[in-house]
Structure 1
Amino acid sequence: MYIAPLVTIVLVTLISGIFSKSVELTFELPDSAVECFYQEIEQNTSASLEYQVITGGQYDVDVKVEGPNKQIIYQQQKMQYDSHQFTAQHTGVYKVCFSNEFSTFSHKLVYMELNVGPEQPLPGIGEHATVLTQLETSADEIHSALNRIIDHQTHHRLREAQGRKAAEYLNERVFWWSMCETVAIVCVAFAQVMVLKNFFSDRPTLYNKM
């Protein structure tokens, strides 16, 4: 797996045996930029891509999955999140590209998960020659449930990150608006004091001149 330098913030790679590969990462996508990731996939191997824009602009990004023969497997424009499953028709290096070229000033923070191959079963269960025992069945069910919990936790963390960024942005806008209001109130108060001071200042009268 080759990853463009200086863009990866969090990278977690899990390799189970030689059949299943899972790459989960969060990276920054600058404005007017394109970042591509490469993964070698064997023929007739299933793969799935899931992504979501966490922060930046309108939370949208262009996505393209390209095969080793330059064929377009998946392509979407200005998507906030999506998932796509496909089966490799040829052995080779597959390319996943995220584009932010349509944005001239908004940086994006993008989450991506790429799973290649079937999920590896628990040790001792995948090649079980006889019927599973009750303990093995329970262990397999717990394993599946834990995987679903991990997926749910990931999505909750992404939504939490979006909510936190939105709250921080709103807090910053409220802060600067409050500062502008404070400055305006101080200026108005100063102007009122100067006007009242002019009303009560000593002025020469006609009697004093005589």
Structure 2
Amino acid sequence: MIELGPHSSECFFEDLHHGDQMTLTYQVGGGGHLDIDVTLYDPSSHALFKQERKDTGTYSFTASSDGRYTYCLSNEFSAVSDKTVSFNVHGIIYVPDEGDMLPIEREIRDLAAGLQAVKDEQEYLVIRERVHRNSKSTHTPLNPPTT
């Protein structure tokens, strides 16, 4: 989880090999209109994914080449609001299967990937619940009760 101040951005990177899979998920949990810009670049600095002013997003891809993939979370368009952003990056790094891998080893690798997906979904739901709880606490009824 990070804090993005007004007019700021944060970039992170992952070194991947051809065939590796990566998934980026993010959720804005607080601040302003709950929106940020997100861009993911390949090693040649070409944008693979770009979302502007969104509160949540997911992007999965398979690396087409070896190198450093960069993803940036930006609040540069905001003049006054800090944003609280939760994000996860996970992936599958392929280890060549030379035929000598036991079936149980394959199952363990698949189970680990499934557990990571469940963990990411749970973290997303926690942030989503917090956003809804916070929006309810700031909501005032249109017709307040009279006494």
Equivalent residue number for residue 155 of structure 1: 124
- Whose strand proportion is higher, 1 or 2? 2
> How many equivalent pairs are there?
135
TM-score (norm 2): 0.75
Q: Which structure 2 residues correspond to residues 27-66 of structure 1 after superposition, within 5 A? A: 27-66=2-41
Query: SS at 2:34's partner residue?
Result: coil
Change (3 A) 1:162 1:115: same
The structure having more radius of gyration, on CA atoms, is 1
Q: Which runs of 5+ in 1 are unaligned?
A: 1-25, 121-125, 175-210
Equivalent residue number for residue 55 of structure 2: 80
The share of aligned pairs that are identical, in percent, is 27
- Whose helix proportion is higher, 1 or 2? 1
Whether contact under 8 Å (2:34, 2:55) holds in the other structure is: yes
Q: Which runs of 4+ in 1 moved over 6 A?
A: 139-145
Query: SS at 2:13's partner residue?
Result: strand
Equivalent residue number for residue 128 of structure 1: 102
Residue of 60, 67, 89 corresponding to 2:64: 89
Q: Distance between the aligned counterparts of 1:48 and 1:146, measured in 2?
A: 14
Name the aligned partner's letter for residue 43 of structure 1.
H
Q: Distance between the aligned counterparts of 2:81 and 2:93, measured in 1?
A: 37
Q: Which structure 2 residues correspond to residues 14-29 of structure 1 after superposition, within 5 A? A: 26-29=1-4
Q: Distance between the aligned counterparts of 1:90 and 1:140, measured in 2?
A: 23
TM-score (norm 1): 0.55
Whether contact under 8 Å (1:39, 1:93) holds in the other structure is: yes
Whether contact under 8 Å (1:34, 1:100) holds in the other structure is: yes
Equivalent residue number for residue 201 of structure 1: none
Equivalent residue number for residue 194 of structure 1: none
1:143, CA displacement in angstroms?
Answer: 6.7
